[in-house]
């Protein structure tokens, strides 16, 4: 998340450093790479491709990515995980948890132990490429027929726990369009918000990593291509429905309805102080504000993330109960979408998006 922050939150220099960390890492030596491929696809792995570019075109914290061509001429990309990265993640988080347990650096209200436990689970998901392949196929089916999105095909016969092969797609990372004409920037922002709402309230299934390089925009097809499904979350219908009512209550400025639904979801215990309830409702209203506005919503002018940031100290001091597990990934997803719209200087009509999803839910839901 640090690598996609707006420069008003962190310095431009630090943002550039973190962006480089997000996009670049060291490559595996050839012998190590061959061993990893042989262990996952068999010693004859090279024979399964017509052509395989041994020099990766990208690398990040978990692995590196190569261009390849199948025997039928199909262009693919092959993601190969670094050996031992899953064990290293577990060890690092365990060590951090141990340090924080004896050093009083974080307020109790931050519930850092739960946050680290969830981070450990989510990072384990990201190192399981079999799970990612299944998630990608599921999202491809869910978005079938949507004119705004495309999910590349996965080749499971060329995938395993630590290798993932998928169809090559055209496009550029969505943050490459920050200097594009306003009409295009608005279109991209609107599509990303539409995706958030469909995932949260219609599919109850979310890709929760907001890294902008996970989303490519194709200027020819005008589609956003979804590329990474390591961080996916399945929501319960109850959680989704209650969150829908929370956002709906923002439009009607119904404070008590926000509190009641938040208690059902586990955000609140029902025994919070007034200062905590005020901060919680204020934060929720910031999230719901774009979807309640009758006017086009200016993400830069409203600076929603800055207002939420000012409330974090109150949460750290006055939160009684840890937030529900789903909220960590949900907040990451929503904040990523809002930050993107801010980076794009988007001014867009958000309320019709929410009204469409809400009406669909009311018509086709169980209530």
Active site residues: 209
Q: In whole angstroms, what is the distance from residue 282 CA to residue 267 CA? A: 14
Q: Where are the alpha helices (DSSP H) in the chain?
A: 12-23, 30-41, 85-102, 112-126, 129-142, 182-197, 237-251, 255-265, 274-292, 299-302, 304-309, 312-318, 325-343, 351-364
CA distances from 65 to 54, 58, 105, 166, 210 (A): 10, 5, 38, 11, 19
Number of neighbours of residue 279 by Cβ within 10 angstroms:
22
Task: Write out the DSSP string of 208-248.
Answer: ----GGGEEEETTTTEEEE---SSEEEPPHHHHHHHHHHHH
DSSP-derived secondary structure letter, 108 = G
Number of neighbours of residue 84 by Cβ within 10 angstroms:
9
CA angle 328/333/336 to nearest 5° reads: 120
Buried b (16+ CB within 10 A) or exposed e, 196-216: bbbbbbbbbbbbbbbbbbbbb
Number of neighbours of residue 153 by Cβ within 10 angstroms:
14
Nearest alpha carbon to residue 155 among 66, 45, 50, 77: 77
């Amino acid at each position: 998340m640090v690598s996609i922050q707006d420069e008003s939150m962190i310095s431009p220099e630090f943002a550039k450093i973190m962006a480089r960390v997000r996009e670049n890492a060291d490559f595996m030596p050839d012998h190590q790479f061959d061993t990893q491929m042989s262990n996952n696809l068999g010693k004859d792995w090279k024979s399964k491709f017509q052509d395989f570019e041994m020099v990766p075109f990208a690398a990040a914290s978990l692995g590196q990515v190569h261009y390849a061509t199948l025997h039928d001429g199909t262009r693919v990309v092959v993601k190969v995980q670094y050996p031992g990265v899953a064990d290293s993640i577990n060890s690092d988080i365990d060590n951090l948890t141990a340090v924080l347990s004896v050093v009083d650096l974080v307020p109790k209200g931050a519930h850092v132990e739960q946050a680290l436990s969830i981070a450990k689970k989510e990072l384990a998901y990201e190192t399981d490429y079999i799970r990612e392949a299944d998630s990608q196929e599921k999202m491809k089916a869910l978005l079938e027929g949507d004119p705004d999105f495309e999910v590349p095909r996965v080749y499971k016969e060329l995938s395993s726990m630590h290798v993932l092969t998928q169809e090559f797609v055209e496009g550029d990372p969505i943050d490459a369009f920050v200097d594009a004409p306003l009409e295009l920037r608005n279109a991209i922002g609107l599509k990303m918000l539409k995706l958030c709402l469909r995932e949260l309230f219609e599919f109850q299934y979310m890709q929760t990593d907001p890294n902008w390089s996970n989303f490519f925009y194709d200027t020819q097809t005008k589609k956003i291509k979804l590329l990474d499904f390591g961080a996916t979350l399945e929501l319960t219908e109850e959680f989704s429905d209650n969150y829908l009512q929370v956002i709906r209550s923002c439009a009607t400025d119904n404070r008590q309805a926000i509190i009641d639904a938040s208690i059902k979801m586990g955000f609140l215990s029902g025994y919070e102080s007034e200062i905590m309830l005020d901060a919680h409702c204020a934060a929720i209203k910031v999230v719901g504000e774009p979807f309640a506005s009758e006017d086009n919503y200016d993400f830069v002018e409203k600076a929603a993330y800055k207002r939420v940031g000012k409330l974090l100290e109150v949460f750290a001091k006055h939160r009684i109960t840890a937030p529900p597990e789903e909220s960590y990934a949900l907040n990451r997803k929503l904040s990523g979408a809002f930050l993107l719209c801010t980076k794009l200087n988007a001014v867009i009509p958000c309320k019709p998006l929410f009204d469409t999803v809400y009406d669909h839910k009311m018509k086709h839901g169980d209530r």
